A and B are shown apart, each in its own frame.
Chain A
Amino acid sequence: MGQLLQFFELGEQTWHGDQRKAEEAWRTMNLIRAFEEKCIELYKQGLMGGSLHSYIGQEAVATGVCMNLNTDDYITISYRGRGQAIAKGADPYKLFAEMLGRKDGYCKGKGGPMHIACRELGILGANGIVGAGIPIAVGAALTAKNKKTGQIALTFFGDGATNQGAFHEALNLAAVLKLPVVFVCENNLYAEMTPIKHSTLNEDLAERGAAYRIPSIVVDGNDVRAVHEATKTAVDRARSGEGPTLIEAKTYRLVGHMFGDPETYRTKEEVAEWRQKEPIKRFRQVCLDEKLLDEDRLDEIQNQIYKEIDTVAKRAMEADQPGMEEIFTDVY
């Protein structure tokens, strides 16, 4: 068990002088944040149906993980899944259009926020059922292994999902069949409205991977470099036929489970404390300390992204509604 469970420590030389990586990470994290903030704005205006589950605060996980993936690698994601979709290369316009239920959306407006999918980018689908995408990713890995394509599958899920049977069954199956799959648990400390420590006695959820003899790594999920490096090991293992890895990225959801959540289960002080440790703020400091990007460049990229998000959101708001004939298409 000891060797199977590792606590990732960032090497001093990580990304040293690598401005290209720093810029990519900075851009993606900000794109996710700007997108999610705009979604809250649109939601408040009553332009979206259902519930909105924001990814704000967890940007380093999606970003660091997906920097290791190829376009044709498969991912499955949860209902808190726009961050990972953006990190995998999704077009913000098509994402906004889907959020607003429009014809130009990835799913023609028929999936919505909880079911983002994009075949071309290997995004097999976000899932409204906690943990349900995990065995599906295992199946995608089975295809990759069977067809010897060199692709891998990776699945994002939250801490709460590790109490679902689907999680355990999928891990065991992937371990036994030695499949090229990476399990990424984004532990944001709350399973919906319940602190994970109230429903799970394991301090480190990665222990559950080790229990199935899957090498498992605990990583600081608010440090994009650490996430990137830890996941790289896992992705390399999968791609070289050595089987699955589980990553537990410890992070924090800075907003409620869904928009409107009164967050009675945690204190304002706790949230404020995590705001100091949030990934975008932290990475800005890293860029400055390590002289990866200067203040001007960081601001320039950030401003440009916020402007771009404004523009595409407006365009999406003007997009057509799907035709009524869409009710009856794509059933079988």
Chain B
Amino acid sequence: MSTKRVITYAEAINEALREEMKADPNVILLGEDIGAYGGVFKVTKGLLDEFGSDRVIDTPISETGFTGAGIGAAMTGMKPVVEIMWVDFTLVAMDQILNQAAKMTYMSGGQTKVPLVIRTQGGGGRGNAAQHSQSLETMFAHVPGLKVVVPSTPYDAKGLLKSSIREECPVIFIEHKMLYNQKGEVPSEEYFIPLGQADIKREGKDVTIVSLSRMVHFCLDAARELQNEGIEAEVIDLRTLVPLDLELVKKSVQKTHRLVIVHEATRSYGWGAEVAARIQEEAFDELDAPVLRVGAEDVPIPYNLNLEKEMLPQVRDIVDAARNALYLSV
């Protein structure tokens, strides 16, 4: 019987790292300020003391350099977990991520595996402005060779990170800065969540709402509002973009016949377009309404909190989209 415990998203990630480092001496951490300082979001707190500076390595501010080193270490027998402090900074290391890590196995004809996890955090909501608030998961999902994990709860974050560290390929693991203090139930017993399994966070029969990361919580809030109007929304958390569990979405659409996709990333060319396209290709006859998308406005993220809130998707936008999908007047 599992023990019920409530811990934060940051603590859950810390536990996953600790457990995997204990289980496998090849797991090492690389990143900026992750050692004595414990990481800017305190995710790696205490790990330096426990595992020493050979395994928790503070690096210079050089994302290309230490991401590349993580790749080289992964190719030669280590299991590095590289922390890139903000997802926006991954752009500095994109050659290493997209040209090197993602393609090494294929280019070598399968000789080389790159069991590397890049942990980072993204998203807006606290006035970090245009270069510290982006949701860039689609960029990684667009390049074959990477798996992409975007967890929404402490439970999912822990189980998915533990699985990610045991993958044999590079995994981009994107946390959300607004979720680090969010609490949730996490059993004290060890568990894993396999990559590629979406999760129904709330069952419903009238409209399917698909999302991930922080927006899942917005969708659940929206579902509660819709319930007051007698609408039962089903909320699906994709949890991983690659692999994509489209089957669960299709199954839900077969029940609800209506689909709303919600992401914090800018709307144009986001992953929502991919999911919408796939659903119309594979489940066109199930649809009773056009697939609708809710995403951020197609602008850089403004600093001013009022402007930021307005440009990011809010609960109201999701409620409106669900009502639209049901042809109810907004």
Contact = CB atoms under 8 A, between A and B. Distances in A.
Given A108-B109, A108-B110, A332 B145 contact: yes
Contacts of B145: 331-332
27 contacts: A76-B72, A107-B107, A107-B108, A107-B109, A108-B110, A110-B109, A111-B109, A119-B112, A124-B112, A125-B108, A125-B112, A127-B100, A132-B96, A135-B96, A136-B71, A139-B68, A140-B75, A141-B72, A146-B28, A166-B95, A169-B60, A169-B62, A170-B68, A172-B62, A173-B65, A330-B106, A331-B145
Interface of B: 28, 54-55, 57, 59-60, 62, 64-78, 80, 95-96, 99-100, 104-112, 144-145, 147, 167-169
A147 B173 CA distance: 26
A10 interface: no
Contacts of A166: 64-65, 68, 95-96
A329 B109 CA distance: 8
Contact of B77 (A147, A170, A331): A147
Interface string A56-81: 00000000000000000010100000
Interface in A264-320: none
The 6 closest A-B pairs by CB, nearest first: A139-B72, A135-B68, A169-B65, A107-B109, A108-B109, A169-B62
A132 B100 contact: yes
A120 to B, nearest CB: 8
A111 B147 CA distance: 21
A153 interface: yes
Contacts of A125: 104, 107-108, 112
A179 to B, nearest CB: 9
A43 B13 CA distance: 52
Given A136-B71, A169-B62, A172-B62, A331 B106 contact: yes
A32 interface: no
A177 B62 CA distance: 14
A29 interface: no
B101 to A, nearest CB: 10
Given A132-B68, A134-B68, A143-B77, A176 B60 contact: yes
Interface in A251-270: none
A87 interface: no
B260 to A, nearest CB: 30
A144 interface: yes
Nearest to A74: B76
A129 interface: yes
B107 A115 contact: yes
Given A117-B107, A138-B68, A173 B73 contact: no
A331 B144 CA distance: 7
A125 B80 CA distance: 19
A172 B65 contact: yes
B72 A140 contact: yes
B288 to A, nearest CB: 35
Contacts of B54: 146
Interface string A100-140: 00000111111100010111000011011100101111111
A139 B108 contact: no
A171 to B, nearest CB: 9
Contacts of B78: 139, 142-143, 146-147
Given A143-B72, A169-B66, 4 more contacts: A110-B106, A170-B65, A330-B106, A332-B169
A165 interface: yes
Interface in A141-197: 141-144, 146-147, 153, 165-166, 169-170, 172-173, 176-177
Interface centre among A105, A108, A138 (most CB of B within 10 A): A138
Contacts of A74: 72, 76
A106 B73 contact: no
A255 to B, nearest CB: 25
B318 to A, nearest CB: 33
B64 A140 contact: no
B73 A119 contact: no
B73 A142 contact: yes
A329 B76 CA distance: 21
Contacts of B108: 106-107, 111, 115, 117, 119, 125, 330
Contact of B75 (A111, A139, A170, A331): A139
Given A125-B104, A143-B78, A119 B111 contact: yes
A293 B265 CA distance: 68
A331 B105 contact: yes
Contacts of A137: 72
Contact of A173 (B69, B77, B110, B147): B69
Contact of A135 (B69, B80, B106, B169): B69
Contact of A329 (B73, B95, B110): B110
